[in-house]
Structure 1
Amino acid sequence: MKLFQVTIPNDQHRKVVTVLQDDLKLENVTSIEARTSSIVTFRVEDEEMQGVLTVLQKMGVGVQFGFCDVMSLTPGTSISKIKRTKSGQVRLKRGIMQKSSDVGTAIPVAEIYAHIESSTTLSRDSIGMLFISSSIAGIGLAGDSPTCVVASMLLSPLMGPILGCSFGYAIRDRNMFLNGLSNELTALVITLMLGMILGIVLAPYADDLKWPTAEMRSRGQVVSLIFGAIVAALSGAGVALAESNANISSVVGTAIAAALLPPTVNCGICLSYAVIGPLFLPDYEETKKNVFFEIAVGSALLVWINIIFIYIAAVLVFKFKKVDKFQLIRNVDETQWQNLPKLGKTPRMRPSPPSNQFFAESTAAPPPPTFPDDNGGSNHPVKRRIRGPSEDDNDSPLHKMNSV
């Protein structure tokens, strides 16, 4: 369950509350009205959150005026009011969001954007992980160790930029698309160069390692391209679902790199060994050179086929989940977020003098008034309190109470 807290100017209060109560049929809307601004709070189910955000943004909340905060709530004593069909399927009660909870994102699009944007960026840490994962993959391919190859899959950061490309296309964000594309190409070039370096370093031990190993051959065969395309399409759909659903582990996204990192490293190793192999092996055969060239070309094709199918599948899933750019107010002028007027200051008590001078007479002030006593004297001065809010102050709480 999510708790919405909407802060808006007073002149927009009635319109927002009317839409929430009449159009969205929300029954737990409460509001607090201050001098210049109002705070409206209500609760909705997780699957309804994005629909409510879209309605509020279309009204201008967070775009032209005010702002909206969404907080997660732990289950308490409240029971959500939902409607069940005859078949037992849960349906949302509100007419504007009569959809199954299976469609739509379970977390805000802005949160998805922030997570994908962070994974798309090629930082120093991601480059470091790229070096580590490529080295592990190269050792696993050269030594025919499936364990090392699988370990490199889970460390590879190659999936983030592809996901950024697909998400950027889905929401028509040109900057995210181009950023993901450039970072993915850069990461692939780095991985390929690392594979070539490993091929040069390990070339003297090629006969001892019995190159090409089974792991190297399996990523250069034509049959692997067909199965690789199928796995890539399923993987792209899986990572898109994982990003749009908070209940699915994000490990799915990193595991998908299995279809990207090992073939790229394998391409670099085989390509470099095919070129420099004769320098280390006098009896290097031409047929063996052609074999390594074929494996390198097959690995390169496998990488690009996987990238294309991952991209297409992820875009289709994001479209199916109805991820829309309007749900993400990203390119709005930042000055439009500042239209909410500042809250006025409440009347404050004027500073009082120290306690030992509370009834002291000021030398600069005129003497306090006196009143006659029983004997006709006037020896009892009237004790005057330091002036606080009075009826003369238009902003004082006392004045407001009297005016009511």
Structure 2
Amino acid sequence: MLDVLEEEGVEYVLTEEHGTREYDSIVSFPLPTNAVEPVLDSLQNVGIENDSYTVVTDAETVISRDFDELQQEHTTESVQDEEISRQELLTRAEELTPTYSVFFAMTLISSIVATVGLLLDSPAVVVGSMVIAPLIGPALSASIGTVVNDRDLFFKGLRYQFSGVLGGIVIAAIVAWLFQSMFLVPPGAELTEIDEVAERIAPELLLLPVALGAGIAGILSLATGFSVAIVGVMIAAALVPPMAAAGIALAWGMPAAALGSTVLVLVNLLGVNFAGLATLWYIGYRPDSGFGISIAQRRVFKQAAIFLAVILVLSLFLTGVTYSSYQMSAFEETATQESEAVLSEYDDAYLLEVDVQVREEGLPVDSSLDATQQIDAVVVEVGGPPGTYDAELIDTIDERINEQTTGDTAVQVRFVATGGNDAYLEGDEADVNNADADT
């Protein structure tokens, strides 16, 4: 052992020990962060791991000319300069992964808090649910276990992740159903009108980079020894709110919307694992033996291929939703332009708003259909002085908008008087209210 340290140019202190154990000496030596792994590997190659304890601790400051020279020798001006050893990486991954009972309980609590935050449409509460979610350890453990050829750690990470996601969706559905039953949520509340829920029950492809970025950032933070708390929140942001949204959609009896949120959770989960796996291999983590490296390499490529294939398949769903959302936005813009064109022929009438309403049972928007086939109604709000109501104007707007749709779309034209009487038209009926209106 001492010969290895001298060959590496490492200063050491040898202390004689007396005790009940069979070890009779302690060797202490300082190393730069990026030199820990190669030196430990060299010591293991001479059998030091078989008959000794190895303890790695952090030193705040080392003042030594020889240490400075050793540090310069291992400096590469890359991420490897800050990279902790493979042994430390495994230890940190285990430290970030609590016992299963604690992990599962904390995940369920975070899902419950996220459910409350989504139903309240409160971003602050949703962020709070992310902070308490213990997902970063299991999310990165599977990738670390694959790269360093630790199968137990790999399967432990997967078991934690998938059971946590399933449990989170189930508890969110139960809590949301209880809220409905206890009338804590207004009767008839529509999920599409709650922004925090709506963006997660009709997920788009642009949400995938969030998961990939979280996986890369998580590994870099863990591997370089920096705090992973903030990155843990980012990983939770990709998983916890969609889990809660899936449960809420189930409680509301919207299986298509629940499917959309569940697909988003799975894509994000696999995205975090794929990004973490690729980042670990790229920055150079390998098992401690040549034979293990070849096995790990095959497993890494196989695992990455599986993750990528499933992500691509599920992303087809997200791509369809994204395209349908684009179609819906384009149609809303067209409906607005058509309504403005009709109203331009009237001196006193002007457009206030165009609202395209999609059928709830059609969420997320079905990419196999034309987007306009899933429209429940197009509501056109027109402002003007009392007496602006005009049946011909209504028929013209209805006709112009339906020219842009597939089939017959319900168009509702609502008139809002600037003073005096209000008039509204919904479908084929006009309802005149004798009250002043705000413009």
When normalised by structure 2's length, the TM-score is 0.58
Report the CA distance shift for 1:73/1:115 in structure 2 as closer, same or farther (over 3 A).
closer
Deviation at 1:32, TM superposition (A): 5.3
CA distance in 2, matches of 1:117, 1:249: 14
Name the structure 2 match of 1:25.
9
- 1:48 aligns with one of 35, 38, 45: 35
Percent identical: 25
SS of the aligned residue for 2:241 comes to helix
Name the structure 2 match of 1:372.
none
Name the structure 1 match of 2:330.
none
Spell out, residue by residue over 1:139-159, the C-alpha distance to the aligned partner (whole angstroms, 9 max, x if none): 111121111111111111233
Is the 1:164–1:180 Cα contact (8 Å) retained in structure 2? yes
Report the CA distance shift for 1:128/1:222 in structure 2 as closer, same or farther (over 3 A).
closer
Amino acid paired to 1:67? Y
Is the 2:13–2:27 Cα contact (8 Å) retained in structure 1? yes
2:269 aligned with 1:319: no
Is the 2:32–2:71 Cα contact (8 Å) retained in structure 1? no
Amino acid paired to 2:53? F
Name the structure 2 match of 1:259.
238
Deviation at 1:227, TM superposition (A): 1.8
Is the 1:103–1:320 Cα contact (8 Å) retained in structure 2? no
Report the CA distance shift for 1:101/1:222 in structure 2 as closer, same or farther (over 3 A).
closer
Amino acid paired to 1:189? L
CA distance in 2, matches of 1:303, 1:161: 15
CA distance in 1, matches of 2:145, 2:160: 14
- 2:110 aligns with one of 133, 152, 161: 133
Spell out, residue by residue over 1:288-308, the C-alpha distance to the aligned partner (whole angstroms, 9 max, x if none): xxxx33321211111011011
Name the structure 2 match of 1:71.
57
Q: Which moved more, 1:184-193 or 1:202-211?
A: 202-211
Deviation at 1:324, TM superposition (A): 2.5
Q: How does 1:234-253 map to 2 (within 5 A)?
A: 234-253=213-232
Is the 2:111–2:171 Cα contact (8 Å) retained in structure 1? yes
Amino acid paired to 1:219? R
SS of the aligned residue for 2:30 comes to strand
Amino acid paired to 2:42? V
SS of the aligned residue for 1:51 comes to helix
2:46 aligned with 1:59: yes
Name the structure 1 match of 2:191.
211
Is the 2:123–2:196 Cα contact (8 Å) retained in structure 1? yes
CA distance in 2, matches of 1:325, 1:128: 33
Q: Which moved more, 1:202-211 or 1:244-253?
A: 202-211
2:145 aligned with 1:198: no
Spell out, residue by residue over 1:257-289, the C-alpha distance to the aligned partner (whole angstroms, 9 max, x if none): 111011011111102211xxxxxxxxxxxxxxx
Name the structure 2 match of 1:395.
none
CA distance in 2, matches of 1:151, 1:32: 50
Amino acid paired to 2:263? L
Instruction: Answer with 1 or 2: which has the greater Rg.
Output: 1
Amino acid paired to 2:273? Y
Is the 1:104–1:322 Cα contact (8 Å) retained in structure 2? no
